[in-house]
Structure 1
Amino acid sequence: MGITRNTVLEAWMNEHGHSSNSLADAVNTAVGRLTGRSGGLDGSSVRSWKAGRVRWPKSATRRALEDVSGLPATALGFVPRGQARSTPAASQEDLDMKRRTLVGGIAATAAAAAVPGSGSPRRIGMGDVDRLQQRFAEIIASDHRHGGQLGIEQRAAALADEALNLQIAGSASQRVRGNLYACAASFRSSAMWAAIDGRRYEDAKTHMREAQTLAEMSGDQAIKFRIWSHAGTMYRHMRRPADALAANDVARNLHLTRRDPLFASLGLARQAAIHGAAQDRSGTRRAFEQAQDAMLRADPADYRPVWMLAFYDQAELDSLALSAYLTLGDYPTAEFHAHRCLSALRPHMVRSRAITTTRLAHAQLAQGDGDAATATAMKVPVDVATQHVRVARMLQEFGAALRATGPDGTTVHTWTEHTAAWRMAA
C-alpha cells in the first residue's frame, strides 16, 4: 500500500495559521507540560506527518498534539497502527470552514439525486459519514476558540441540513442512515450550544427540539446525553433550576452513564452546578464529590466521541465548581477552583480560559481585593472581552461591582481606562 498524504492535518494547519516549524514548537511545549521535558520535534517531523510517512506519532507526541489542537489524533487524519484508512483523506475544500460553502457540495449532489430522470441514485456509505464527522470536529474546535458566535450556530445548522440531505441522495444501509441522523443531531446540538453561549435562548430551544428528534431517530446514546445535558445548562443560565435538574436527569439516567464513568462524572458535575444555582450547598458539595470520584474511575483508553474528548477533563470539572461556589457566595472555594482550572486548561480552550479568568476576578473582588481582581480581569484578551456575549456581560457586571466599592478610587480609574481601550480596539 502506497503512502497517502495527510491532507486533513494540512487543512487544519492552514485553518489555524500553522507552519511546520510553528506546529513543531507548539507540540514541543505541550510535550514539556506533559512530561517535564520538551519534545524534540522540528519542521521536518511535521512535514513527515503531512506527507503520510508517519501515520501514527508516538504516544507523548500524539497526546501533546491533541492538547494543542483540541482534537483526537484520528480527527487530524492519523491512523492507528494496524489499521488502514477506511476512506480517502478529505480534501482541503472539504475541511476549510472559511470557504463558507457548507451546503454546497453534498447538498447539491443530494438535490440532483432526488430529481427524477437524473440517473440511478448513488450509494451513500460510511465515507460520507466520516467526512461529516470531520466537519463536526472542526465545529467543535471553532467553538472552543470563539464560542457563542452566530456564525458558528449558522454553520452547524447548515451542516445538519447537509446530513439530512444525504438521506435522500441515494440508497444506504440502516447503519449508515442511523449515523447520518446522529451527525445531524450532533450539528444541531452544536448550534444549540452556540445559541446558549451567545444568550440566544429562543433560538437554542428551537435547535434543541430538532436535535432531540434527530437523536431519537439515530438511537445514539452519547448525542442524546449531550443534548439533554446542554438543555440542563441552558435552563441553569436562564435561572430555572427545577427545569435544569429535570433536563440534566434525563442525561444522567441514560444507560451510557452506567457504562462509562466519565459521562457519569459530567452529568454529576453539571448537576452540582445546578444545585449551586438553586442555593443547595449540601447538594452541590455531594454532587461534586461524586463527580470527582467518577472521573477518577474512568478509563482514559475507552472510546468517546470527539466533543467529549475536546472539553471534559479535570479543568472543566473545576470550572463548573467555580461557577457553583461563586453563585453560592463561597468565594474562597470559588477562587481555589479557579486557580486549579486555569493551571490545567488545555491551550485550545480560549473561550473557557476567558470565562474562568473573569469568574476569578469576581471571586477576588468579593473578598475585598480590588487590585488583584482588576489585574485578573485585565488579562482577558480584548477579542474575547468584546466579541463573546457571555464574557462581555460578566465583565460589565465586574465593572459595576468594582465601581460600587468606591467610584473615585485608583483601581476604578485603571479599569475604566482599560475598558475604554477595549472599545477602541474593537
Structure 2
Amino acid sequence: MGANVILKRRMDELGLTQEELARQMNVALEALGGRPGDVSARTVRNLLNGSTRRPIGRTCAALEAVFGCPVSALGFEPPRTAAQAEDPVHRRTFLVAATGTAVAAATPARRLRLGQSDADRFHLEYADLLGDDSRVGGTRRIENRGVELASRIQSSLADGAASDRVRRQMYRLASDVTCLAAFAAIDASAPQRARAHLDKALTLAGLARDSETMYRVWDHLMLTSSQRENHAEAAAGAEVMKRSSVARRDPLYASLGHLRHANALARLHQPTESLRVLNLAGKAFGRARDEQPSAWIAFYSRAEFDALSSYVWTALGDHERAEFCLHRALAAIPGGMIRNQGLYTAHLSLSQARQGEAELACATGRRAYEMLLPVSGSQRTTNTLARTRQVIEAADTKAPEVVRWIEESRRWT
C-alpha cells in the first residue's frame, strides 16, 4: 500500500490543501444529491496515503465532480461495477454549481454539440462585463449579470455534448465569470456575498482542471478574508497562491501572491517578514515576461504593483512611502480603469490626511469622488473617503475649506 502520487500531483496543480479538497467535495455532493457531504480532511488523508485504494459511492462521485475525470485517472482502482455509469438517468445527472442544483433527465435525449464558437460567444459577453467592472465597479447589476452568465454557461454544458477541451474551457469561463461577480461584491464591501460566489467558483475551477483559474479563486478568497479582518486566513490564502503550479512557472503570478502575502503579514504586525516578502514580490515582478497576460491578471501592471505596495506601507505606518507609491500608480494607470483611479486617489487622500495635510487631503478626496461615475458601486472608495474624513475630524482643523469639505463629504459616504 503506497501513497497516491497522482492525486497529490493533481491537488498541487490546482493549489488544493487537504482541507480545501474536502470542502470542495462536500460542495459537489450537496449539489449532486441535495444534502451536505461529510467528507473530512481525514478522508482526504486516507485517499492520499493509500489507505483508500477504491473510493466508492459518494466519495467516488465527489472526486469525479471536483476533478472532472474518472477516479481511475486519479490513481485509484475503478469501481467494481460499471452498471451505474451505464444508467441513462445517472449519465444525465450533472452539477450546476452556480445554483447548487442537479439537472436530470428521466429519459435519454439527443444533445446539442457545443464547439469553440459557443465558447467564444460566451467569452465576448465576459469581456464586455469585465470592461464594465473596470469602469464602474461593484454594482449589483454587474454582480447579477455575472451570476446569470455563469448560469447560462453551465446550462449549455448540461444540455449539450462537448469535447474535453471545450468543456474545460467553458468551466474555466464559468469560474471566471463567477469570480467577477464575487469581485463586484468585494468592491461593494459585501464579503459574505462574495464568499458565496467563490464557493461555487472553486468547484467550477476544479472541473476546469486549470491552476490559473484556481489561483484567481484563491486570490479573491484572500481578499474576502482581508475585508473581514481575518488576516491570518488571508495570509494562509496567499501562501496557497504562492505555492500553486502557475505561480511556480510564471513570475507575474508569483509576484501577486507575494504582494498579497506581504499585505496580510503587515496587518498581522510582522513588519520584518512583510518587508522581506514585499522585496520578493518586486523581484518576481521584474522577472515577469513582457508578453500579453490572460484577461484577468492583465490588471496587475506596474501601476497596480505600486498601488498594492502602498497598502503594505500604509499597514506598516509609513504613510509618506505609501503616498509616493500612489502617485506613481496614478501616473501610470490606464485611462479606462476609472474605478481603480478613483479608489487609489481616495487612498492618496487618506495618506495625506494621516500626514497632517488636511487641506491637500480634502482637495484630493474631492477629486476622487468626482472620478466615480454616477452608477458606480465602489463602496471601497467611499469607505476610504469616510476614513479620510474621520482622520481630518480628529485633527480638529478649523480652516474654512476643511470644514466645508467635511460637511460636503458626508453626502458622499
Fold equivalence (TM over 0.5): yes
TM-score (norm 1): 0.68
Distance 1:324 1:307 in 2: 22
Letter in 1 for 2:323: E
The match for 1:355 among 336, 339, 343 is 343
Alignment of 1:139-158 (within 5 A): 139-158=129-148
The match for 1:191 among 168, 181, 192 is 181
Paired position in structure 2 for 1:179: 169
Secondary structure, counterpart of 2:282 in structure 1: helix
Q: Please, what is the CA RMSD of the aligned residues?
A: 2.3
The match for 2:119 among 99, 118, 129 is 129
Unaligned runs of 5+ in 2: 1-103
- How many angstroms does 1:420 deviate by? 6.3
Paired position in structure 1 for 2:35: none
The match for 2:307 among 307, 314, 319 is 319
Change in Cα spacing, 1:318 to 1:383, as seen in structure 2 (3 Å) is: closer
Letter in 2 for 1:243: E
Paired position in structure 1 for 2:334: 346
Q: Deviation per CA, 1:197-247, whole angstroms, max 9, x where unpaired?
A: 111122111111111111011111111010001111111121111100111
Distance 2:411 2:140 in 1: 25
- How many angstroms does 1:385 deviate by? 8.3
CA contact (8 A) 1:385 1:395 kept: no
Q: Deviation per CA, 1:247-282, whole angstroms, max 9, x where unpaired?
A: 122222111111111111111111112122222222
Paired position in structure 1 for 2:239: 249
Unaligned runs of 5+ in 1: 1-113
CA contact (8 A) 1:222 1:256 kept: yes
Distance 2:389 2:343 in 1: 15
Runs (4+) of structure 1 exceeding 3 A deviation are 114-120, 420-423
Q: Does 1:368 align with 2:360?
A: no
Secondary structure, counterpart of 2:269 in structure 1: coil
Paired position in structure 1 for 2:10: none
Percent of aligned pairs sharing the same letter: 30
Q: Deviation per CA, 1:281-320, whole angstroms, max 9, x where unpaired?
A: 222222221111111111112x6321112x1111111111
Paired position in structure 2 for 1:308: 297
- The higher-RCO structure (CA 8 Å, 6+ apart) is 2
CA contact (8 A) 1:406 1:412 kept: no
Secondary structure, counterpart of 1:380 in structure 2: helix
CA contact (8 A) 1:231 1:248 kept: no
Secondary structure, counterpart of 1:304 in structure 2: coil
Distance 1:215 1:168 in 2: 16
Report the count of equivalent residues. Answer: 309
Secondary structure, counterpart of 1:398 in structure 2: helix
TM-score (norm 2): 0.70
Secondary structure, counterpart of 1:379 in structure 2: helix
The match for 2:228 among 232, 235, 238 is 238
